[in-house]
Structure 1
């Protein structure tokens, strides 16, 4: 009886392995199409070029930029000018350029995406 039970378990394990292999095969057939969509130069989502407002352009520069580039340039500016609150690293203090953009003396780093979204078109 023990061997029948063991054979039954092995058969179930084999079926699970076959199911897993089939799902891998399906995923691998989709990979080339997904790879093409994720290539550089795409214009969707975070990679779409947007035009910064005048206030935002004072910090990140003129011209169409991807949202990812805008976020990177914002953080580059914040770190270069030491605008992170040393007591609370999540807080960003406004200077002459960031003040008009933020509308406050300091904001949370979690508000940056909302501020950026409000200042691009």
Structure 2
């Protein structure tokens, strides 16, 4: 069962137009999408310094998250809506 789950995470998924603004429009494994989002967050200093679990959306992340702030735990729920 673990192998099937691992393959599901490695299956390339197509990002939405909003998400592609950060990840590019080529299909990527879900793990790579998350990695690119975290690279964007860190590069643009989007973690709340007082609560590092909170991500402050910039103009590229706001359409993906649908709001100005999300926790790192909510992030994957919002990303799932933008992957097919």
TM-score in terms of structure 1 length: 0.64
Count of residues in Structure 1 that have an aligned counterpart in Structure 2: 82
**Larger % of helix: which?**
1
Distance 2:23 2:48 in 1: 21
Distance 1:116 1:50 in 2: 11
Q: How far apart are residue 44 of structure 1 and its match?
A: 2.4
Point out where structure 1 has 5 or more consecutive residues left out of the alignment: 1-33
**Larger % of strand: which?**
2
Q: Which has the higher contact order (CA 8 A, sep 6+)?
A: 2
Distance 1:55 1:104 in 2: 14
For residues 13-46 of structure 1, the C-alpha deviation after alignment (integer angstroms, 9 at most, x for no partner) is xxxxxxxxxxxxxxxxxxxxx9xx69xxxx8211
Q: Tell me, yes or no, if structure 1 residue 95 matches structure 2 residue 58.
A: yes
Q: How far apart are residue 68 of structure 1 and its match?
A: 0.4
Q: Which residue of 1 aligns with 2:80?
A: 117
Q: Which residue of 1 aligns with 2:33?
A: 70
Query: Is the CA contact (8 Å cut-off) linking 2:62 and 2:68 kept in structure 1?
Result: yes
SS in 2 for 1:44: helix
Q: CA-atom RMSD, angstroms?
A: 1.8
Q: Which residue of 1 aligns with 2:9?
A: 46
Point out where structure 2 has 5 or more consecutive residues left out of the alignment: none
Q: Which residue of 2 aligns with 1:104?
A: 67
